[in-house]
Structures are given as C-alpha cells and as structure tokens.
Amino acid sequence: MKISILGGGGFLGRKVAEALAANGRLGAREVTGLTLFDLHPPASLDAPFPVTCLGGDITTLPPEAIPPETEVIFHLAAVVSAAAEADYDLGRRVNLRGTDAVIDACRALAKPPRVVFTSSVASFSGGQGAMLPDDARQMPRNSYGAQKAAAELLLSDASRRGFLDAVNIRLPTIAIRPGLPNKAASSFISAILREPLLGLPTTLPVAEDFKVWIASPGFATAWLLHAASMDSAPLGVDRGVNPPGICASVGAMMDAMESVRPGTRALVTPAPDATVAAIVGEWPAAFAASRAPALGFARHGTLAALVEEFLAHDLEETRAMRDR
C-alpha cells in the first residue's frame, strides 16, 4: 500500500508517519511506500519501506506528491485559524484551492484512494453553552472554519462521484501540541500546559472557566489512522466524523497539570486578549460525539493522562527544539 501525507512536515503529519514507520502496516495491510509533502521538504525517517520527501505548493500539487497506485492520502495541509483570519487570500488559496488540487490528483489515479481530511471544530459555532449533536449544521463564524466546511463539502461530493473515498475528521483542538507555538487562535490551549511543563512562564488570554473541546496528539493520530483503514460504507453520504474528545475548562486543565507536576500552575499568568477570545469563543465547547465510537473511534482518556502523554512522548523533543 502506498500512502501520501500532505502536510507531512507538521507535527501531526509527523506523528502519523512515525506510527506507520513503527508498525510497517496500516490496519491489516503492509505499507510499501510513503510520500511526505509540505511547503518545504519534511525530514525523512527510518522505516521498513521507502520514504520520499518533497516540498512545494499544494495549490500546484506536483504529481510526485501523490504517486500512481497511492491508496491512502492524509490531507493535513492547512493555513491555521488566526492566520487564515488575518490573511483571507492565503487561507482561501491553501485551504480551498489546495483541496481542489487534491481532488484533481485523485481523479488522475487509476483507483479512487481513501482521503482522510483534517477538518476542525472551528467549522461549527455555538460558543460556551453548546453541546452539538452529530447532525448539527456547520455554521462557522471565522474564515478558517468556513474554508474547512467548504472543503468537506467538496470532498464529500467527490466521494459521491467516485473520485475518492473521503473521511472528514473534525478534530478537536490538539493539546498538548509539541514544539513551538503556532499562529492558531487556540495556540494558548497547549501553551498553558506545555510552557509550564518546560519550566517556562506563559499567559492565559481567557477566563479560567472557559471551556474547550480538546484531544491529545496520541488520540488524534490514532483516529486518523483508524479513518484511513476503516470500512467507510457505514458513513453513507455523511462523510463527517466528530471524534470523542474531552470538554474541559482551562482551569481544570491546569489543575490536572498541577496534580501531575506540582508548582507548574503558578507559571500561568492571566492576560485577557479580546481578539483571541472573540475567535475561540464562537467555537462549540462540547460535542455529543455519539456516532464516532460506533464507527470504531476510541474514546479519549483523562486530562491527567493527556499531561502524562506529553511528558512521556514529547517533552524532551520539545525541550531540544527550544535549545537549538
């Protein structure tokens, strides 16, 4: 089985690539080749199969990014929330026209591939009081969310037409994201845990009772791999999946961190930011996510386990990145 990861240089693309390299398989099938594509060529990795690393613009996707006989494509490439809001043209070009390019590449393949697309909770609205059912309408109040919802529709229609076989995963906000802060409006959700666990001070732009819908990198990776190998027939025409994340207040998140590493909570200082609060405040705080477990998506663990996952798998790598 040949696999391509678009956005293979991002942290989540890397997690998926490392999991494939460690197992050598996707589901019950052996991986025979992996292509990693991003704006700049991603770093290679040791694997029991050939790995090709390419750089380029997803809107003019080179044929080598999705080679002939590719059976699975992870479409993770995107301009993130605050960046897409600040630069409308860039967000629309990458998030929409990039998806168009992926669909066109799939149409050129002899066999329709499985396409796992990372959509987002930002494609919904509802705010702090929301508990959205699986059939809730996507009514985004930000350009990033609108672009993700539109891309979902394009991929679902391409599935209907037989060009590809899409599974659209509406990922919760990922925490704790390793590495450096990014330009997402939700970046603080990882920062309030990651920075103190590194022994560094950070700020909190929202109130402690502010609730978020989150998932750890480990669970997000597992959901993406499951989406790539699952039977998609039960999805029917509805190709969107809300995976079962955690609804938690940022205060509860910091309490969990403190329970694992005492003294870390004191490194977080309140610093209200109206711009950030306006963007993330529109996102729903919780989803029912009752459909996903029936489709085989694992339920999330506890907040303390989320902190421990970062300490076990990402702390030292993140510290090394800061020291470079």
**CA angle 186–187–188, rounded 5-degree value:** 90
Exposed e or buried b per residue across 1-21, where buried means at least 16 C-beta atoms within 10 angstroms of its C-beta: bbbbbbbbbbbbbbbbbeebb
CA atoms within 13 A on the CB side of 164: 35
Answer for the pair 117, 168: CB distance below 8 angstroms, yes or no.
yes
Our answer to whether residue 88 is catalytic in this structure is no
In the set 11, 124, 144, 287, the catalytic residue is 144
CA distance 181 to 82: 12
Residue 143 tokens read as 């350009």
Q: For the chain, where are the alpha helices, taking DSSP H only?
A: 11-23, 81-86, 88-92, 98-107, 143-160, 187-197, 217-229, 250-260, 274-280, 291-294, 303-313, 315-323
DSSP 10-55: SHHHHHHHHHHHHHSEETTEE--EEEEEESSPPP----SS-EEEEE
**CA angle 172–181–314, rounded 5-degree value:** 75
**Can the peptide bond before residue 176 be classed as cis, meaning omega within 30 degrees of 0?**
yes
CA distance 3 to 69: 9
At 38, give phi and psi (nearest 5°).
Answer: -155, 180
The residues that are catalytic are 144
